[in-house]
Each structure stands twice: as structure tokens, then as C-alpha cells.
Copies of this chain bind each other. A is one copy, B any other.
């Protein structure tokens, strides 16, 4: 039986061997929710950059540039980190270069994996179906907040683990922890996430609508994956 494991923070990724695993990268608020929404809405590709200047440079190559630091859109960038930016008609058919606080770091750390895919509540059932079909070991990697564990990524992880429980064995205790947290909070998820530390941080930035959107289930039946340096469907 293939295994599912969970890495709740990118700062723990050194403990995992990703080379024999499909890695599901998760940054619910808001990088991977944006990526899912954008690619479902017809964005041609999304290329993640850790470095802000590198990302900005892609403007001159015809990309739309998307950037966020500490929850706020970077000055002069085309898109921020709101899923609604990615749902606009104007992004269709375009290539996007993106840099975010936590999400792109997690993708960068997964590059040695068999495959890197993008998970969010918006495509959770599609992700579950995809990894079941793949029949490879799976690692769910949470982007967290500057190395710390966050609630929304943990809840998504627990929800995904709960969908995989009959088809995969657990590799360590982190899947049990995430699943228990999800089962405890699932009927009250929006309220719980609104009271989490990251949401409170974002609430200061008036992104209540974003948070509600990022917790919607199965808006899209797509699985973004990394091909070379680009995320595509």
C-alpha cells in the first residue's frame, strides 16, 4: 500500500525524502487557492519565483506579474494575492509570474519530487482523485506562515487525508493530527479560520471575501501541476 505523509511546515521538509513522492503543495490563504482559480479561469501558466526582482523582470517578457509580501500586493505589480484578481477576464490566455511570502518557497522545496501538484479547497476532490489514480506515495506540504504551522493549511491537509484514508497507509503521526483537527472543526471551518492568527493578520487588510472564497469546496475540477518551472493544468 502506498503511503500518505504530511509536512506541516516548509521548515520541516529536510526530514522528508520527496524524491519518491507526489507532493501536494498547500497555501490556502492564498497562493494555491489563487493558482487553482487562475488556471481554472484560463490563465495559460503560472511560474513561481522566490525572488521578487526575478519575478518583476518577467514583466518585460510579456508576463503578468503577481506579487504579495506579508499579505499585501507589491507596488507596481499587475495582480496581488486575491483569488478574485485571478478570476478576472483580463488574465485569460496570459502567462503569470508570481512570488508570495510562503507558497512559492514550498514549491521550490518540492522540486525533486516525482510530481508537484497544487492543492486548495477549491479543487480538493480533483486532487484526491488524481493522487489515488497516480498510485505513488504522497506528501502534503503546507506552506505555513514564515515557517510556523497555520490552521487553514492544516485543515485542508486533514480534509485531504480524510479522503485518502482507505487508499493509503499513514507514514507518520502528522496525518493523524491534521485529520483529527479537521474532523473537530469541519462544521465550523469558516468561523475557526476567521479566528486563526493568519486570518486575523489578513482581516486587518480587509480580505474577508477572499477567506470565504478560499474555503469553498470543489469549485474547480482541475489539478495544476509543475512542468519544468511552470504550473499548468
Contacts and interface: CB of A to CB of B under 8 A. Distances in A.
Interface of A: 8-9, 11-12, 14-15, 145-151, 154, 170-174, 176-178, 180-181, 183-185, 192, 196-198
Given A177-B177, A183-B184, 6 more contacts: A11-B15, A145-B173, A150-B172, A151-B173, A172-B197, A176-B181
A30 B35 CA distance: 44
Contacts of A170: 197
Nearest to A178: B177
Chain B CB count within 10 A is highest, among A183, A184, A196, for A184
Interface pairs A-B: 5 shortest CB-CB? A180-B184, A151-B173, A180-B181, A184-B184, A15-B147
Q: Chain A at the B interface: mostly helix, strand, loop or mixed?
A: helix
Contacts of A15: 11, 146-148
Nearest to A15: B147
A197 B184 contact: no
B196 A174 contact: no
Contacts of A172: 145, 148-150, 197
Contacts of A146: 15
A177 B12 CA distance: 17
27 contacts: A8-B8, A11-B11, A11-B15, A12-B12, A12-B147, A12-B148, A12-B149, A145-B173, A148-B174, A149-B172, A149-B173, A149-B174, A149-B177, A150-B172, A154-B173, A170-B197, A171-B197, A172-B197, A173-B196, A173-B197, A176-B181, A176-B192, A180-B180, A180-B181, A181-B181, A181-B184, A184-B184
Contacts of A149: 8, 12, 172-174, 177
A47 B123 CA distance: 51
Chain B CB count within 10 A is highest, among A172, A177, A198, for A177
Nearest to A16: B148
Contacts of A154: 173, 177
A152 to B, nearest CB: 8
Contacts of A148: 12, 15, 172-174
